[in-house]
Amino acid sequence: MRDKRWAKWALLGLGIGLILYGAATGQATGTLRKAILICLECMGLGA
Amino acid sequence: MKRQSRRTLIQCLAALGQNAYIPGFFRGVIFQGKSKLLCVPGLNCYSCPGALGACPIGSLQAALGQRTGRFPAYVLGTLLLFGVLLGRLVCGFLCPFGLLQDLLARVPLPKLKVPRWLDRPLRYGKYAVLFLLVALALLMAEPVFCKYLCPAGLLEAGLPLTSLNPSFAALRGPLFYLKLGILVVIVLLALFVARPFCKYLCPLGAFYGLFNGVGFYRLQVTEEKCVHCGRCAAACPMDVDVVHHPNSPECIRCGRCLDACPHDALSAGFRCK
């Protein structure tokens, strides 16, 4: 039980850390650029 | 208001909130504002004309498929955050495709119970889909899940945009009809089997399920009150043995077991300790 308590706080910290690192290194805008374009694959269009 | 009515209301508000760019549905275009850079918690296609945010699975594939060699920290961090805070509460309350399946389950038709010998191996299907989408995004630099399997993409993006925009309608080909076939099969299955996509195919549910056992949102059984009547397990749409595995990776936190328990032996909520 004690381990699980430690694990959830550690995972929460890791999640927030990754988001902040990703945002600081431009991933939030860079890697998600596709989201603002029409994704033809998602729609089942194209080859 | 009863728990299940309240849940349906939250599901509807979540689906509307994530797809609130109404002009997109009339003009056949997608929203391109800054909120699109944030991942939403559920399976909600970012090419839906109304989508205000990005699908985390689509974003993960896009990030992996860029082949920059960079670790997709932003998307994984977001998935981790939703996972540890909410787990599969996302499936039960916030996912628009989950809402669709719940609504289809309400159609008064005979409901089928998938036999255990078939159900058990099929449940691993969603983990296989999760593994394959990551592996193939890395190897082929293609959003394989979105392209070949995701029924939400066709329902929320493909069907409205090809109906509204003739330039998209001209691009319909074999892939479109393959995905349409998958969507029809899932919709038909959902009329008879509860949440078939969530049980067997959804990679997002597979990921969030990993956190049900360690996350902040917990289901607890008070042993002193439980008389082992089995009503909770019978009420569970995901066929979870609630008393023995209250935080099973399969539990979507819908709360039907809480309603079914006549002795208040079950409780659910966020626990910091």
ipTM of the complex: 0.87
Q: What is the pLDDT of residue B142?
A: 82
Say if residue A1's pLDDT is above 70: no
Q: What residues in chain A have their Cβ under 8 A from chain B's Cβ atoms?
A: 4-5, 7-8, 11-12, 14-23, 25, 27-29, 31-32, 34-36, 38-47
Q: What's B268's DSSP letter?
A: E
Q: What is the pLDDT of residue A3?
A: 63
B positions 144-163 inside 8 Å of A (CB)? 146-147, 150, 153-154, 157-158, 161-162
Q: What is the pLDDT of residue B18?
A: 95
Q: For residues A5-16, b (16+ Cβ closer than 10 Å) or e, as one string?
A: eeebeebbeebe
Return the number of other C-beta atoms located less than 10 Å from residue B108's C-beta. Answer: 6
d(CA B255, CA B70): 40
d(CA B97, CA B40): 13
Q: What's B7's DSSP letter?
A: H
Confidence band of B196 (pLDDT split at 50, 70, 90): very high
pLDDT in tens, B136-153: 988 888 888 998 999 999
Average pLDDT, chain B: 93
Q: What is the pLDDT of residue B258?
A: 96
Tell if the CB–CB gap between B77 and A39 is shorter than 8 Å: no
Q: What is the pLDDT of residue B68?
A: 72
Say if residue B91's pLDDT is above 70: yes
Q: What is the pLDDT of residue B80?
A: 97
